[in-house]
Amino acid sequence: VVAAGSGTRFGGPKQYTELGGRRLVDWALDAARRACDGVVLVAPPDRPDHDPAADHTVPGGATRSASVRCGLEAVPADAPVVVVHDAARPLAPPELFDAVIEAVEAGADGAVPGVLVADTLRRVEGGVLDRDGVVAVQTPQAFRADALRRAHEGDPDATDDATLVEAAGGRVVVVEGDRRNLKVTDPTDLELVRALLP
């Protein structure tokens, strides 16, 4: 669970904001715990203390990709499948973790949840993107551990891990995402998530 961002667009460390009687990050930790054998929390470098909600707590890096690498170092070497999840998505159900894990166990190098894009996509400079066959990609994302580790060699950077695994030659499949699995980016997103709490 990567939670080492600074929440610039939110206006502060959103992962620790209150949501439904606990910290926002606790929702992600809880869902990860239900689906996975072990949970690594990647925390902001200024909050490196062990978090009892995780098995390991490690300080993150300057970018999301760097934070994923920090977390990977704490994942046992014999774990065959690694799931990366954004703390900023508190509504991801454990079933979504199960679905991406199953897709990897079925032979993919990586699996991501995708949802259809409802809006027309236009380039600001002009020209509309064909929405056919396009999905918006969420987390949790599951990977064969060796494919994820190899994809991170050389310290590349991208907005998600599937991008890196694919760039390294891996096969990434899309499973059906969940439209409620919103990412808290700005304060409006938090209002929406609050309204959707189980």
- Contacts to Mg ion by CB under 5 A: 5
Which of helix, strand or coil describes residue 114? strand
Choose the contact partner of 4 out of ligand CTP, Mg ion, none; CB within 5 to 8 A by kind. Answer: ligand CTP
Q: Which of residues 70-99 bind ligand CTP (CB under 6 A)?
A: 86-88
Number of residues that bind ligand CTP (CB under 6 A): 22
Residue nearest to Mg ion (CB): 5
**Residue 60 binds to ligand CTP (criterion: CB under 6 A):** yes
Q: Give the footprint of ligand CTP on residues 6-45 (CB under 6 A).
A: 6-10, 15, 42
Count of all residues that appear for the chain in the document: 198
Helices (H) and strands (E) in the chain, counts: 6, 11
**2 lines the binding site for ligand CTP (CB under 6 A):** yes
Backbone angles phi, psi at 101, to 5 degrees: -65, -45
Q: Which of 24, 26, 29, 67 binds ligand CTP (CB under 6 A)?
A: 67
CA distance 43 to 1: 9
Mention every residue, 6+ apart, whose C-beta is less than 8 A from residue 14: 5, 7, 24, 88, 184, 190
Distance CA 145, CA 142 (A): 9
> Could you say whether residue 142 binds ligand CTP (CB under 6 A)?
no
Give the residue with the Cβ less far from Mg ion, 5 or 113: 5
